[in-house]
Amino acid sequence: MTAAHLSEQVVKDKLIEFIRETFLSGDPDRELDEGTPLLEWGVIDSMRIVVLLAFIRRELSTDIPMTQISGANFRNVRKIAALVVH
């Protein structure tokens, strides 16, 4: 199933689960929702974006064009999900 067939909310949920498990050691107490400022809070950085892009490609069957990889587009889960489904 490709991301085009998933709702934006499903993509957000998958991204949050992946980010929590991969970058936050699965810590359920760490604040993370679709609006959490990922870059500002140090949850992701340039190396982690590469890992996140690999997850998106593998699990959501979507490639994010290099021209779309920017701090603004990876600011939070909401922005990333919008890239994935559109």
Q: Please, what are the domains in the chain? A: 3-25+33-85 (1.10.1200.10)
Work out the pLDDT band at 3, boundaries 50, 70, 90.
Answer: low
CB neighbours of residue 30 within 10 Å: 14
d(CA 62, CA 40): 25
d(CA 56, CA 35): 18
Instruction: Report residue 49 as tokens.
Output: 């974006």
- Secondary structure of residue 67 in the 3-state scheme: helix
CB 2 within 8 Å of CB 61:
yes
- pLDDT tens sequence across 23-75: 998 777 788 999 999 999 999 999 999 999 999 999 999 999 999 999 999 99
Instruction: Report residue 26 as tokens.
Output: 């699965």
